């Protein structure tokens, strides 16, 4: 039986490879493949950005070796950054909820 972390890693690898290799190198994401991955897996986050150049900016930020593609290591940087941002959001949210409850005990009933 796999641990939660092992299952998460397997899922991350599977997602990457389900989008990579449709064009060009099967171990890298082209810009079009990265866009498809973002739309397929992170549609809500992508839609929240009002910047029409968001995929270009993500591609530029991730493509550390400037080869025009995103390899698995570069992709993991994106996932890690998103995980950190989500964790920070929920930590801040929890702190805000606790503060509201301390200031207004009736808020617990909401």
What would the pLDDT profile of 1-58 be if each residue is shown by its tens digit? Answer: 789 999 999 999 999 999 998 998 999 999 999 999 999 998 887 888 778 888 889 9
pLDDT at 100: 58
Residue 25's pLDDT is what?
93
Instruction: Identify whether 71 is part of a domain.
Output: yes
User: 91 lies in a domain?
Assistant: no
Cβ atoms within 10 Å of 14's Cβ, excluding its own: 9
Say if 8 falls within a structural domain: yes
Taking the C-alpha atoms of residue 45 and residue 58, their distance in angstroms, rounded to an integer, is: 12
Q: Taking 50 as the threshold, does the pLDDT of residue 110 lie above it?
A: no
**Does 38 map to a domain?**
yes
Q: Is residue 23 part of a domain?
A: yes
Q: CA–CA separation, 107 vs 34, rounded Å?
A: 43
User: Looking at the predicted structure, is the pLDDT value of residue 89 above 90?
Assistant: no
Determine, yes or no, domain membership for 16: yes
- CATH code for the domain of 60: 1.10.238.10
Q: How far apart are CA 60 and CA 49, in angstroms?
A: 16
Number of structural domains found in the chain: 1
Instruction: Print the domain residue range for 74.
Output: 4-81
């Amino acid at each position: 039986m796999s641990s939660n972390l092992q299952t998460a890693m397997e899922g991350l690898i599977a997602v990457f490879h389900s989008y990579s290799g449709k064009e060009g190198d099967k171990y890298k994401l082209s810009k079009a493949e990265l866009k498809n991955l973002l739309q397929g897996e992170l549609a809500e986050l992508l839609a929240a950005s009002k910047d029409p150049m968001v995929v270009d900016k993500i591609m530029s930020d991730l493509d550390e070796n400037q080869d025009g593609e995103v390899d698995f290591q570069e992709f993991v940087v994106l996932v890690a950054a998103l995980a950190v941002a989500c964790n920070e959001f929920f930590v801040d949210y929890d702190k805000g909820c606790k503060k509201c409850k301390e200031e207004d005990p009736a808020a617990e009933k909401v």
